[in-house]
């Protein structure tokens, strides 16, 4: 049985989005490397790296994206992350809107993940983290506006 840490760790995530003529907003979900769960690019906040920069770094490393990251999170959610030693740690993820302007041809995790664009309503249904699904649902209902 996995051990659970009582400590909450902080992560930063990028929610990649784009406008599509005639279709409105689309958001990108990526698969996790090991379990192929549908998530958004997220990771640990490094020392000396502001959370928005950490979110942008994850968008590049996991999906090869470049764009404009918001300076403040539009929301957050928690989830349990399984660590390499088999223990679980609760993570609080601050989510930053990331307006995608393009994609590099080569990036660190290319070939390790699948990338999918979805309307926010479908992304809300498919996201594997409940809290992420709630945020995506709020976007789909117009309660959160990505800019």
Domains of the chain listed by start with CATH number? 4-140 (3.90.79.10)
Q: Are 64 and 103 in contact (CB under 8 A)?
A: yes
At 34, list the tokens: 């090991």
| pTM attached to this predicted model | 0.92
pLDDT band at 69 (very low <50, low <70, confident <90, very high): very high
Of the candidates 17, 49, 43, the one whose C-alpha atom is nearest the C-alpha of residue 109 is: 43
pLDDT band at 3 (very low <50, low <70, confident <90, very high): low
| pLDDT digit string, tens, across residues 70-118 | 999 999 999 988 888 888 899 999 999 999 999 999 999 999 999 999 9
Q: Are 98 and 65 in contact (CB under 8 A)?
A: yes
| pLDDT digit string, tens, across residues 32-61 | 988 899 999 999 998 889 999 999 999 999
The pLDDT assigned to 81 comes to: 86
Neighbouring CB atoms inside 10 A of 146's CB total 16
The pLDDT assigned to 99 comes to: 98
Q: Which residues contact 35 (CB under 8 A, 6 or more apart)?
A: none
Is pLDDT of 1 > 60?
no
Query: Which letter, b or e, does each residue of 2-21 get, where b requires 16 or more Cβ atoms within 10 Å of its Cβ?
Result: eeeeeeeeebbbbbbbbeee
CA distance 61 to 30: 12
Mean pLDDT, to the nearest integer, of 8-16? 96
The pLDDT assigned to 4 comes to: 55
State residue 139 phi and psi, 5-degree precision: -65, -45
Radius of gyration of the chain (CA): 15
The pLDDT assigned to 35 comes to: 87
The pLDDT assigned to 7 comes to: 81
At 139, list the tokens: 């976007």
Is pLDDT of 11 > 70?
yes
């Amino acid at each position: 049985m996995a051990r659970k840490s009582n400590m909450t760790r902080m992560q930063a995530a990028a929610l990649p989005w784009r406008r599509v003529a005639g279709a409105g907003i689309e958001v990108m979900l990526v698969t996790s490397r090991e379990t192929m769960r549908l998530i958004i690019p997220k990771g640990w906040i490094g020392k000396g790296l502001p959370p928005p920069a950490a979110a942008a770094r994850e968008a590049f490393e996991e999906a090869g994206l470049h764009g404009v990251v918001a300076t403040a999170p539009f929301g957050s959610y928690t989830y349990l992350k399984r660590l390499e030693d088999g223990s679980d740690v609760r993570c609080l993820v601050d989510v930053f809107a990331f307006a995608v302007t393009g994609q590099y041809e080569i990036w660190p995790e290319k070939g390790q993940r699948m990338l999918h664009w979805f309307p926010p309503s479908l992304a809300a249904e498919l996201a594997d983290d409940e809290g992420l699904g709630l945020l995506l649902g709020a976007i789909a209902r117009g309660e959160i506006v990505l800019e």
